[in-house]
Amino acid sequence: RIASLAIVGRPNVGKSTLFNRLAGKPLAMVDDRPGVTRDRREARGRLGDLELRLVDTAGYEDKETGIEVRMRQQTEIALAEADVCLFLIDGREGVTALDQRFGELLRRASKPVILLVNKAEGKQGDEGILEAWNLGLGEPIPISAAHGEGMGDLYQAIRAAL
Ligand code: GDP
Ligand code: MG
């Protein structure tokens, strides 16, 4: 069976970098719902023996509409289709106000959420990891999407959430 993952979080936390790391061949852009899914990318991927269907959300990075509105739309669509939600924050920046509002949205979601503290290569995400506990989404998992660190822990978390 294929595990469907939605990758969500505010702009610049590394969603697309993680998507690209996990993705094999990119699938076509999904543009059947103009204005909402335009910037959404989907791909098949693999992590260990897990077959993945990945959805990278990005529509709320469009500055024309209020970021919060688009963030909610994109996240709700991605969550509706996903088995598991990967919520990224930037371990170097720590938890921002926008991360907190995302966290609230995700705490109310009916899907399992895996909290990923990205950009944590070396010890650079340590403070961010401690702060991330405050989001109330369980154990934060340090990763580096850019360098491929923490992928074994991510695998185990996905397994446990399925
Ligand atoms: P998105 O807006 O959430 O999709 O974020 P991107 O994937 O576009 O990444 C935003 C920036 O963070 C880019 O400059 C990436 O190179 C950088 N980045 C992503 N992942 C990592 C990481 O694990 N470590 C570091 N140091 N930088 C990262
Ligand atoms: Mg992106």
Nearest CA to ligand 1 atom 12: 14
Give me ligand 2 centre to Cα 2, in Å.
23
The pTM is what? 0.89
Residue 68 has pLDDT above 60, yes or no: yes
Contact between 141 and 115 under an 8 Å Cβ cutoff? The reply is: yes
Q: Residues annotated in the binding site for GTP, as ranges?
A: 9-16, 56-60, 118-121
Residue 137 is given by DSSP the state S
How far apart are alpha carbons 108 and 110 in whole angstroms? 7
pLDDT of residue 36: 44
Helix (H, G, I), strand (E, B) or coil at 98: helix
Nearest residue (by CA) to ligand 1, atom 19, is 14
Spacing, Cα 11 to ligand 1 middle (Å): 9
3-state percent breakdown (helix, strand, coil) of the chain, nearest 5: 35, 25, 40
Higher pLDDT among residues 35 and 23, named by residue: 23
Question: Which one-letter amino acid corresponds to residue 63?
Answer: K
Q: Which atom of ligand 1 is nearest to the CA of 92?
A: 26
Considering the chain, what percentage of its residues have pLDDT values greater than 90? Answer: 56
Which residues, judged by CB distance below 6 Å to any ligand atom, belong to the binding site of ligand 1?
9, 11-17, 118-119, 121, 144-147
Cα separation, 39 vs 14, in Å, equals 15
The mean per-residue pLDDT over the stretch 145-154 comes to 96
Tokens, residue 19: 């998507």
Q: Which atom of ligand 1 is nearest to the CA of 17?
A: 7
d(CA 104, CA 4): 22
Closest CA relative to residue 101, chosen from 127, 125, 66, 54: 66
| CATH fold of the domain at 2-161 | Rossmann fold (3.40.50)
State how far the Cα of 129 lies from the Cα of 94, in Å rounded to an integer: 8
ipTM: 0.99
